Amino acid sequence: MSKRLVFMLAIASAILLVACGQEAEYETIQIEEVAEKQDAGYIVLDVREPSEFDQGHIPGAQNKPLTSIQTGDFDGLQKDIKYVVICQSGNRSQQASDLMLKEGYEFVNVAQGMSSWEAAIEK
What pLDDT, in 10s, does the model give residues 14-55? 554 444 444 569 999 999 999 999 999 999 999 999 999 999
DSSP characters over 34-93: HHHHHHTTPEEEE-S-HHHHHH-B-TT-EE--HHHHHTT--TT--TTSEEEEE-SSSHHH
Residue 5 falls inside a structural domain: no
Q: Which of 47, 58, 87, 114 is catalytic?
A: 87
Query: Is the pTM for the entire model greater than 0.75?
Result: yes
The total number of structural domains that make up the chain: 1
Residue 33 falls inside a structural domain: yes
Looking up residue 66, the CATH number of its domain turns out to be 3.40.250.10
Residue 46 falls inside a structural domain: yes
Residue 62 falls inside a structural domain: yes
Residue 9 falls inside a structural domain: no
Is 87 a known active-site residue?
A: yes
**What is the residue range of 75's domain?**
24-116
Residue 18 falls inside a structural domain: no
Residue 67 falls inside a structural domain: yes
| 60/63 Cα distance (integer angstroms) | 10
Q: What is the pLDDT of residues 57-95, one digit of tens each?
A: 999 999 999 999 999 999 999 999 999 999 999 999 999
Residue 13 falls inside a structural domain: no
